[in-house]
Amino acid sequence: MIKRNPCIANIKAGYLFPEIARRRREYAAAHPETAAPEKRIISLGVGNTTEPILPHINRGLTEGARRLGTAEGYSGYTDEGFLELRKGISRVFYRGAFGPEEIFISDGAKCDIGRLQLLFGAGVPVAVQDPSYPVYVDGSVLIGAAGAWAGTGYGGLVYLPCTAENNYFPDLSLLPRDGLFYFCSPNNPTGVAATREQLGALVAAARERGCIIVYDAAYGEYIRDPGLPKSIFEIEGAAACAIEVNSFSKPAGFTGVRLGWTVVPAELKYGGGESLNADWARVCGTIFNGASNIAQYGGLAALEPEGLAEIRQLCDFYLKNAALIRSALGDLGISCVGGDNSPYVWARFPGRKSWDVFAEILEKCQVVTTPGSGFGPAGESFVRFSAFGHRSDVEEACDRLRRLGNR
Ligand code: PL4
């Protein structure tokens, strides 16, 4: 009989978000009273957008669908993406620093994170911020990184703790040589955005150690502090050591539409001098057939001035939710970071297990959160509150959080 890929046995049995959904279902089944509106379960767990796509961007989507029904407007496979969309992304997000051949349109940041490791294979050392978005670790383990690094601890990958003690920025001396480093800013789950100086140090360390940074900027449009970089490519020298993955999901409400992009600079080279850009084009050409054309019409509308104003409006809406959550937790004496340049609030419960805090908040408040330990060992004693929710739900959740009492 055919054998199972042994890497699958190395990933954790359940992916974090379905496990949270399972516990929520279990709680609801045991508590039929949660069917009543005043007792309904409110989710501040998974980071899933809730608000309608705003009118200008939505017109881009519907007009795109209409065009596909016409002889002059029809298009089929678009491979690396609409040329105008790639040019527009460079103009809007990178001040035109990249040619369209350096920008690859995707069906979302997560999908490209999953595909990117094909460039490096199983033998490469992989480092992640701890805590971090679970896909970096699980994706690495799936490609065999755990096998290559077995015995090094933490499931075979290198975890760089980001804690209150180091202001949620890792000790870069722990970065393995000739490795891959997943770095996310504003960070999921901590909500902390790295400063220009910190990213300068990160780029310097990556170059000195022969590493490549996979920079996840999925929440860049949530940055409101003008001094904070939205992209790794705002840092000099980054094009020689970084790939950036990005997405329309969180800024434009495209979590269900599916559209993102990855920047692979032409100057980025492996140790042997080969081009990552050429390899990425080859990988995508082989196992990806391009993003939906309808989604790409929506992306084009999002890059127009009216679309950019809507992106700002939508992010402001969720940032206001984050401020409400942070203030409610602060009133209880619970210490938090994030929420100011990010849609996530990272709340600390010293001495507690994060799944226990998750259960306490669900039982006392009927509010779903995400336990910090699901993002890595350094996430223990934290829970993440997502600001993606209807305003009335967030207000109700904040009210109910008072049941936790003062800390
Ligand atoms: C739940 C740092 C959320 N089922 O929509 P994409 O693929 O363009 O972007 C996904 C993504 C990429 N990078 C970061 C992210 O935080 C996310 C989305 N994360 C969360 O609650 O942490 C949604 C997660 C989804 C999943 O597994 O990705």
Which of 280, 305, 330 represents a domain boundary (last residue)? 305
Residue positions counted in the chain: 407
Which domain range does residue 339 map to? Answer: 7-52+313-406
Residue 391: closest CA among 46, 44, 55 = 44
Does one domain contain both 277 and 202?
Answer: yes
Does one domain contain both 261 and 334?
Answer: no
Which residues on neighbouring strands pair with residue 127, listed in sequence order? 158, 181
> Confidence band (pLDDT; 50, 70, 90) for 146?
low
Residue 342 tokens, joined: 């990010």
Whether residue 43 lies inside any domain: the answer is: yes
- 40 Cα: distance to centroid of ligand 1 (angstroms): 25
With 70 as the cut, is the pLDDT of residue 258 above it?
yes
- 217 Cα: distance to centroid of ligand 1 (angstroms): 11
Whether residue 227 lies inside any domain: the answer is: yes
Is residue 251 within 8 A of residue 92, CB to CB? The reply is: no
> Which amino acid, one-letter code, is at 248?
F
Does one domain contain both 34 and 129?
Answer: no
- Please give the Cα distance from 220 to 111 (Å, whole number): 18
- 110 Cα: distance to centroid of ligand 1 (angstroms): 6
- 165 Cα: distance to centroid of ligand 1 (angstroms): 26
Does one domain contain both 276 and 133?
Answer: yes
Query: What are the percentages of helix, strand and coil residues in the chain, rounded to 5?
Result: 50, 15, 40
Residue 326: closest CA among 311, 312, 341, 313 = 341
Is residue 375 within 8 A of residue 17, CB to CB? The reply is: no
Does one domain contain both 223 and 92?
Answer: yes
- 142 Cα: distance to centroid of ligand 1 (angstroms): 18
Atom 27 of ligand 1: nearest residue by CA position: 17
End-to-end CA distance of the chain: 57
With 60 as the cut, is the pLDDT of residue 149 above it?
no
Which of 305, 337, 355 represents a domain boundary (last residue)? 305
Atom 11 of ligand 1: nearest residue by CA position: 110
Q: Is cis: bond before 100, omega within 30 of 0?
A: no
Residue 14's pLDDT is what? 80
More confident residue, 154 or 46: 46
Atom 10 of ligand 1: nearest residue by CA position: 110
Q: pLDDT per residue over 326-367, tens digit each?
A: 999 999 999 999 999 999 999 999 999 999 999 999 999 999
Does one domain contain both 107 and 141?
Answer: yes
| pLDDT (average), residues 189-212 | 98
Q: pLDDT per residue over 55-105, tens digit each?
A: 999 999 999 999 999 999 999 999 889 999 999 999 999 999 999 999 999
Q: CA 59, 393, 385, 192: dihedral to nearest 10 degrees?
A: 50
CATH of the domain at 294: 3.40.640.10
Instruction: Give the binding-site residues of ligand 1, using a 6 Å CB cut-off.
Output: 17, 46-47, 108-111, 133, 184, 188, 216, 218, 247, 249, 255, 260
Atom 21 of ligand 1: nearest residue by CA position: 47
Residue 372 tokens, joined: 């910090």
- 50 Cα: distance to centroid of ligand 1 (angstroms): 14
Best of 133, 215, 230, 258 for a ligand 1 pocket test (most atoms within 8 Å of beta carbon): 133
Residue 64's pLDDT is what? 98
Residue 147's pLDDT is what? 55
At 354, which helix (H) or strand (E)?
A: helix 354-365
> Confidence band (pLDDT; 50, 70, 90) for 152?
very low
Q: pLDDT per residue over 220-239, tens digit each?
A: 999 999 999 999 999 999 99
Where are the strands (E) in 72-187, listed by range? 103-106, 126-130, 158-161, 180-184
Does one domain contain both 371 and 265?
Answer: no
Which are the contacts of 207, defined by CB distance < 8 A and separation ≥ 6?
237, 240, 241
Does one domain contain both 225 and 354?
Answer: no
> Confidence band (pLDDT; 50, 70, 90) for 8?
confident
Residue 175 tokens, joined: 């970065």
- 143 Cα: distance to centroid of ligand 1 (angstroms): 19
Tell me how far CA of residue 56 lies from CA of 193, 291, 305, 317, 340, in angstroms.
Answer: 29, 20, 10, 17, 26
- 47 Cα: distance to centroid of ligand 1 (angstroms): 7
Residue 262 tokens, joined: 């990855």
> Confidence band (pLDDT; 50, 70, 90) for 154?
very low
* DSSP labels, 33-88: GGGSGGG--EE-SS----SPPPHHHHHHHHHHHHHHTSTTT-----TT--HHHHHH
Where are the strands (E) in 84-125, listed by range? 103-106
Whether residue 2 lies inside any domain: the answer is: no
CATH of the domain at 11: 3.90.1150.10
- 69 Cα: distance to centroid of ligand 1 (angstroms): 32
Atom 3 of ligand 1: nearest residue by CA position: 47
Residue 135's pLDDT is what? 95
Q: pLDDT per residue over 303-334, tens digit each?
A: 999 999 999 999 999 999 999 999 999 999 99
* Angle at 348 (CA atoms; ends 397, 187), nearest 5 degrees: 85
Closest ligand 1 atom to 133 CA: 2
Closest ligand 1 atom to 219 CA: 2
- Please give the Cα distance from 247 to 220 (Å, whole number): 9
Question: What is the bridge-based pairing of β-strands 126-130 and 42-43?
Answer: unpaired
- 361 Cα: distance to centroid of ligand 1 (angstroms): 23
Which are the contacts of 135, defined by CB distance < 8 A and separation ≥ 6?
110, 113, 114
* Average pLDDT, rounded, for the chain: 95
Closest ligand 1 atom to 110 CA: 7
Residue 260: closest CA among 125, 105, 385, 373 = 105
Does one domain contain both 180 and 93?
Answer: yes
With 50 as the cut, is the pLDDT of residue 174 above it?
yes
Total count of domains within the chain: 2
Q: What is the DSSP letter of 229?
A: -
- Please give the Cα distance from 241 to 238 (Å, whole number): 5
Atom 1 of ligand 1: nearest residue by CA position: 46
Does one domain contain both 275 and 392?
Answer: no
Does one domain contain both 231 and 255?
Answer: yes
Closest ligand 1 atom to 247 CA: 8
Is residue 354 within 8 A of residue 378, CB to CB? The reply is: no
Which of 277, 305, 333 represents a domain boundary (last residue)? 305
- 255 Cα: distance to centroid of ligand 1 (angstroms): 8
Closest ligand 1 atom to 254 CA: 5
Does one domain contain both 125 and 161?
Answer: yes
| pLDDT (average), residues 195-207 | 98
Whether residue 1 lies inside any domain: the answer is: no
Whether residue 381 lies inside any domain: the answer is: yes
> Which amino acid, one-letter code, is at 349?
F
